Amino acid sequence: MKRVTIRDVSEKAGVSTAAVSYVLNGREGKVSSETVAKVRKAVEELNYIPDFSARSLANNKSKLIGVVIPQTEERKQLLLQNPFYSELVCGIEARLRQSGYHMILSGVEKGEGYLDTSMQRNLDGAIITGIYQESFYEDLKKVRMPIVLIDSYINDSYFDSVGIDDELGGYMATKHLIDNGHTNIALVTGLIRKDGVVEKRFLGYKRALKEAGLFYNPDYVFEHSVTYEYGREAGKLIASKQMEITAAFATSDLMAMGVMQGVRDEGREVPTHISVIGFDDISVARISTPPLTTIRQDAVAKGIMAAERLLSAIGHTEAYRSFEPLVMPLELIDRRSVLRIGGSAE
Amino acid sequence: MKRVTIRDVSEKAGVSTAAVSYVLNGREGKVSSETVAKVRKAVEELNYIPDFSARSLANNKSKLIGVVIPQTEERKQLLLQNPFYSELVCGIEARLRQSGYHMILSGVEKGEGYLDTSMQRNLDGAIITGIYQESFYEDLKKVRMPIVLIDSYINDSYFDSVGIDDELGGYMATKHLIDNGHTNIALVTGLIRKDGVVEKRFLGYKRALKEAGLFYNPDYVFEHSVTYEYGREAGKLIASKQMEITAAFATSDLMAMGVMQGVRDEGREVPTHISVIGFDDISVARISTPPLTTIRQDAVAKGIMAAERLLSAIGHTEAYRSFEPLVMPLELIDRRSVLRIGGSAE
DNA sequence: TTGTATGCGTTATCAT
DNA sequence: ATGATAACGCATACAA
């Protein structure tokens, strides 16, 4: 299929390429309505489709957004297995497409930069989730394109960001357990990295403890990787050891599901023997046995808002730095995995 | 950050732009090793990054692959909620990136073409999953780029394809139930569309029935949408009605999970009262209660193979039509959701 | 082996 | 209002 160029259109319509370019880009005010009609007709008949590569070369706009999500360390595959990221991506893509943008979805080798990609592709902007080493963000800044960080506590006014109040979330979860009479509460979590979301949730956990006059016991924190498998392992430990633990706060639903299974592996029941509360409210949380009590955040909405912000930043050149970080709401979803114990009042 | 061009590099190195282009594109044979060294040095020092837009304009190669997956009808969001697609995408992206390609992931409005996108972006190829109207495929062919279809029974030698033997899968699942003494077997499925995968699974279901001398009873097929919700509804019907149904084959795990819940909603148990077998082996199948017996396919591998085939097709210009459709293996994973009933042998 | 010049499709500048 | 024409950055055919 031979490519139809803007020149073909201009010839067919009997006008200049500039005129065609004008009507194609909505600057119809600069051209007579008669010319507009002729051009539209020619475009239609020739089935003209503009070449974004050429366009990008001419004006440095690609209508392309880079979306980065974390990947598994071993197999270098996207972390889409975690439904949380899937939903995020769904939201982003839908919103972007609605405005005529496309999304390049990729992971990034750890330690490697994203500068190459952004420059090669003339990206109009990027949405970054996950947490990377500092040099990664420095690179990003050099490119001078709008960037939205999701779930990042990088404190740099260059970046716009959307997230949740993770500290509050951790507090809410732990408080809920405490309100139900639990005093020996485990924390099951992925690696607690500086400025990461789990660190904040961890902080919230400690705050709730302290507020209730409970001691923080380091032996009660099970920290490893954000996987079902590790959650299960932790669950086994919690259920088997001669510990007084009666409840666990898992910093992600994926892990919470594992914890519940681990508890069962040891012949004990959730919530009869061990109560469990998760974080995220991924779709399986609703359908697990028992249905998981959790802190809900709306991942799809998060993705949509991130895209929204990015698009608006792309529109308003250089004025985009003025954004306040966007903090999305949280909600406690009380299902069946937490048991009220003791005789404590509400 | 001012863009460093090939001209900057050539000047710094004291050679021509052609020389730079040669060493950058691996045609080092055309140039003295001394020049190569000078160029490499200059590239390094200037931190030169080629512009893919320009490259694309000059030689019609974009290093960009279009990946299309189905989307929800109502909200126009990607079907990534279904873990099956997530895994597919993971595999595709990982393999593509490994070869220096990027992926534009998108859904496509129903009825709308993909021709625009492919031409605008100068895509080097595309991977399509899902089933679309004929005109969609016709458009695709016009662009004359390599295309791999996943899970499609479009019979057109232009397209390469990777999939599984869905008929066999349906047969295996149904046969397994029959082998366990079941004779009244329901089918719970999404819309049975011509040339779609579920149609084939449906055919396999009927073949197993016929082979066992069982009658095909249209009242036993529950056909609607591929969702947990509908599965649940069907499960309720199956468990409540005064039917003789003792087992159900759900054409996707997502639905199978729903069926199990629906059965429970009616106060009955899986597999005690109703046996359930699914399809796909998504990750939650392993951790459901009870763990789901299912027909396993490896979605990640499917994605990797699709990407692999596409890349190879891109390499061998126009010779790519010679491919045989790739059929990936299937495996019955026997867990705990199917009960052996009656006194049948084997 | 190396350099020059042209084309790729579009936008934007500048005359007309 | 409209139409030439020069970038944009790279690859490559061709000349040296």
Please tell me whether any atom of strand D lies within 7 Å of the Cβ of B54: yes
Chain D bases near protein Cβ (<7 Å): 1-5, 7-14
Q: What is the mean pLDDT of chain A?
A: 92
Cα B276-B281-B286 angle, rounded to 5 deg: 80
Q: Nearest by CB to B93, which of A94, A102, A106?
A: A106
Cα–Cα distance, B297 to B279 (Å, whole number): 8
Cis amide bond preceding A290, omega within 30: yes
Cα–Cα distance, A7 to B318 (Å, whole number): 29
Cα–Cα distance, A267 to A229 (Å, whole number): 18
Nearest CA in chain A to B52: A120
Q: What is the mean pLDDT of chain B?
A: 92
* Per-residue model confidence (pLDDT) at position B346: 46
What is the pairing mode between strands A293-296 and A331-333? antiparallel
pLDDT band at B72 (very low <50, low <70, confident <90, very high): confident
Question: Tell me, in Å, how far CA of A48 is from C1' of C11?
Answer: 17
Cα–Cα distance, B250 to B314 (Å, whole number): 38
Helix pair A83-98, B83-98: axis angle to 10 deg: 80
Question: Tell me, in Å, how far CA of B103 is from C1' of D12?
Answer: 28
**CA–CA min distance B197, chain A (Å):** 23
Q: Of A253, A311, A264, which is closest to residue A286 (Cα–Cα)?
A: A253
- Spell out the residues 6+ positions from residue B253 whose beta carbon is closer than 8 angstroms to its own: B84, B278, B279, B280, B281, B282, B284, B285, B292, B294
* Per-residue model confidence (pLDDT) at position B184: 96
DSSP string, A72-134: -TTT--BGGGSHHHHHHHHHHHHHHHHTT-EEEEE---TT--SHHHHHHTT-SEEEEES---H
pLDDT over 50 at B345, yes or no: no
Task: Determine the nucleotide nearest to A18 by Cα–C1' distance.
Answer: D3
Q: Which residue has the least CA–C1' distance to nucleotide C9?
A: A54
**Taking residues B323-345, what's their average pLDDT?**
89
Instruction: Residue B261: list chain A partners with CB under 8 A.
Output: 287
| Lookup result for tokens 């000047």 | B11
* Per-residue model confidence (pLDDT) at position B1: 65
Helix pair A83-98, A299-315: axis angle to 10 deg: 40
B170 three-state secondary structure: helix
pLDDT over 70 at B175, yes or no: yes
* Cβ neighbours, 10 Å, residue A346: 6
In order of start, what are the domains of chain A with their CATH numbers?
6-50 (no CATH), 64-165+299-330 (3.40.50.2300), 166-296 (3.40.50.2300)
* Per-residue model confidence (pLDDT) at position A317: 63
pLDDT in tens, A234-286: 999 999 876 799 999 999 999 999 999 999 999 999 999 999 999 999 988 98
Instruction: Residue B120: list chain A partners with CB under 8 A.
Output: 49-52
Task: Determine the nucleotide nearest to B53 by Cα–C1' distance.
Answer: D9
Question: Tell me, in Å, how far CA of A142 is from C1' of C12?
Answer: 26
**CA–CA min distance B88, chain A (Å):** 10
Task: Determine the nucleotide nearest to B55 by Cα–C1' distance.
Answer: D10
pLDDT in tens, A192-202: 998 899 999 99
**CA–CA min distance B94, chain A (Å):** 5
